[in-house]
Amino acid sequence: MNIALIYTSHLSLFVSLIRSSYADMLHDTDRNEKYYSGIRAAVRRVKDRGQEAIVLDIGTGTGLLSMMAMSAGADYCYAIEVFKPMADVARKIVEKNGFAKKIKIINKHSTEVTVGPEGDLLCRANILVTELFDTELIGEGALPSYEHAHRYLVQEGCEAVPHRATVYAQLVESKQMWAWNKLLPVPVRLGCGDVREVVPPPDMQACAGCPTVYDIQLSQVSRSHFKALTHVTEMFRVEFSKAVSSASAQHTVQVPATASGQAQVVLSWWDMDMDPEGSIKCTMAPHWAHPSPDNIQWRDHWMQCVYFLATESTVQKGDRLHLTATHDDYCVWYKLQDSSDKQETEGWAQQPYCSCQAHLMCNRQRFGQLNDQMRNEAYIEALKTVVKPHSVCLSISDGSLLSVFTCLLGAAQVFSLESSALSKQVMEKILAANRLAGKVTISEKRPEQLTSKDLANQQVSVLIGEPFFTTSLLPWHNLYFWYARTALARQLSPDVTVMPCSATLVLMAVEFRDLWRIRAPSGMCQGFDISLMDEMVQNSLDFRESQETEPQPLWEYPCRALSDPLRSLTFDFRREVPVESLRSEGSVPLLRTGSCHGVVLWMDYQLTDDIAVSTGLTRPPTDTGDCTWSPHCKQGVYFLSSESQRETAASCCSIHYTVTFHPGTGKLAVEFKPVW
């Protein structure tokens, strides 16, 4: 069996797109109402000029905005949708709502659309309606699409909905967020007061980091986890009713430092005015910057941005700072300089990039995990109980510090398996920076390829892992460690110590505050029947995939436990992977009332008899069911059907579960049903 093939995960493009944002957008009442108000106002302005209202809707999706335009009195609408399955559904939705004669669905990319007697559009439009935006505003190619539309598809001086967008930024110091950016020094308590510090290599310390934005639900970051160093500042605007350029541009704003500290992170979001007067505004601001913080519209398709400065710098309260936002046609990045910096702004346009390779291997969550001192201490204390001066240790995890810790704890020999040449190079640099080069032998062979020669003709007495593998998506995908342990059986001593010694799949029924909306049926939206979206998923050949467990970082999505955590399946790493399937069946009693939106699944690892780490809850739920989740892991979420959710709110007393692990494929099959 080639264990490298275990746990490959695939979601079809079709189901992926359906699951990504459509349901969330359709349930975004604030967005929909603001768009409807903006479209009505734009149509009215055109009509007041005595003109026909010809609308161009780029990226129509379900056709919702086009139908809004027709209901607002537009004369005709051209609706462009490049994704064919979505265009087909939009055509049916438009027909079902009685607009087939007034809305033309065009299945092309907008840059391929032509105007003229033989073209896709008979004439240029005088109202441009779009929803081409992502969390970063421009990341879905909004600027090139607008640039082309103004040149070839719409009239000069056309009305645009939205009319403009404004990007805001705030400079902060945040130990928590900075730990998402790069490897930081890790103290290792060796005993008897002896402390060694594992330091990152110089190129990692100096690296500008990953250029991509980190989009998160910023309202879920506690205010105690960052210090604001400036006020929220307007960085730049994009006027959509005028010619738009996709060329790179930079915008520098002078801001006073409102506090002293380490400038590390830029928090950013945007809002959009649906009309020229700015009276119809839709904002993505987090709660502390929101005009109505007690009435924020929850949304997941547009969140907030975290940008890391290339280097941290000290600022003093009252300093005059120059914050620069630079963007190309798809990305935004930031740079800071103070008033004493004479560098020419023209030199700031270069996008930061990773020069140390670590950011190509580790994502934000992984850096947070590696920098989590409580987690590191749990592993170090566990290693102290299993590593002896004569130990021959083998570490199996991607980019893990366990081999470094093991070496510092005095093991006779330490070997490490890395899954790629990249992770091997990164780990070799970390070892060299800590004067441990040559003390850990790193191989990028697959476990089944490892021979006794690779282990200096010795048998492994201590096998260790976090476990963590970069290809894992769901919590149980890291059971790859178990398969690796099995493939290595001939290289392990008869009395080998395996750490962790076991893993347990834990599940818990929950009620989400908001996350349930991303899987809620479309039904009616702003008075239009969008239920064909639901049929689209139901009739999909991949519908089974749309019902299976999906990864979600639940620290960003508050929920309430309706049951206690239940340990369903245990995997004994001291033994080899069995041939027969592992199965667990039973009931999860619901202890609290509410709508059971789904079941959360995660893995707990027993490092030793006394030390465990969790990829799920960091502490038991409170009496009211409030949950605190590990911020460095994604948990698995199985959403119940909407009908089941309604039933659990009424009279359900438990959730019946069946969990089956199939060793031949590495897949975990789960089934949950309400019980009355």
Residues 6+ apart with CB under 8 A from 494: none
End-to-end CA distance of the chain: 43
Looking at the chain, the number of H-run helices and the number of E-run strands are 17, 34
- Per-residue pLDDT at 547: 59
CA distance 246 to 151: 12
Q: What is the DSSP letter of 3?
A: G
CA distance 144 to 153: 13
pLDDT, tens digit (0-9, with 9 covering 90-100), for 196-250 = 999 999 999 999 998 789 999 999 999 999 999 999 999 999 999 999 999 999 9
Closest CA to 283 of 299, 268, 294, 270: 270
- Per-residue pLDDT at 454: 94
Task: Please answer whether residues 544 and 104 qualify as being in contact, where contact means their C-beta atoms are separated by less than 8 angstroms.
Answer: no
Peptide bond into 565 cis (omega under 30): no
The strand pair at 233-239 and 164-173 is best described as antiparallel
- Looking only at Cα atoms, what is the longest distance across the chain? 90
Residues of the chain under the 70 pLDDT cut? 1-21, 338-349, 536-547, 643-651
Residues 6+ apart with CB under 8 A from 74: 39, 43, 53, 54, 55, 102, 127
Tokens of 67: 């139908």
- Per-residue pLDDT at 539: 61
Task: Please answer whether residues 97 and 64 qualify as being in contact, where contact means their C-beta atoms are separated by less than 8 angstroms.
Answer: no
Residues 6+ apart with CB under 8 A from 198: 185, 186, 187, 188, 401, 404, 405, 408, 430, 434
Task: Please answer whether residues 616 and 633 qualify as being in contact, where contact means their C-beta atoms are separated by less than 8 angstroms.
Answer: yes
Closest CA to 443 of 407, 417, 464, 462: 417
- Per-residue pLDDT at 21: 54
- Per-residue pLDDT at 540: 52
Angle at 517 between CA 527 and CA 567, to 5 degrees: 155
Task: Please answer whether residues 9 and 477 qualify as being in contact, where contact means their C-beta atoms are separated by less than 8 angstroms.
Answer: yes
Task: Please answer whether residues 60 and 69 qualify as being in contact, where contact means their C-beta atoms are separated by less than 8 angstroms.
Answer: no
CA distance 265 to 313: 10
Quick one: 401 exposed, middle or buried, by C-beta within 10 A (0-12, 13-18, 19+)?
buried
Ordered structural domains, the chain, with CATH: 3-131 (3.40.50.150), 165-351 (2.70.160.11), 372-499 (3.40.50.150), 502-675 (2.70.160.11)
Angle at 206 between CA 200 and CA 207, to 5 degrees: 95
Which residues participate in catalysis according to the annotation? 131, 140
C-alpha 626: how far from chain center? 22
- Per-residue pLDDT at 548: 82
Tokens of 437: 């080069």
The strand pair at 76-80 and 103-106 is best described as parallel
- Per-residue pLDDT at 11: 41
Provide the residue type at 34 as one letter.
K
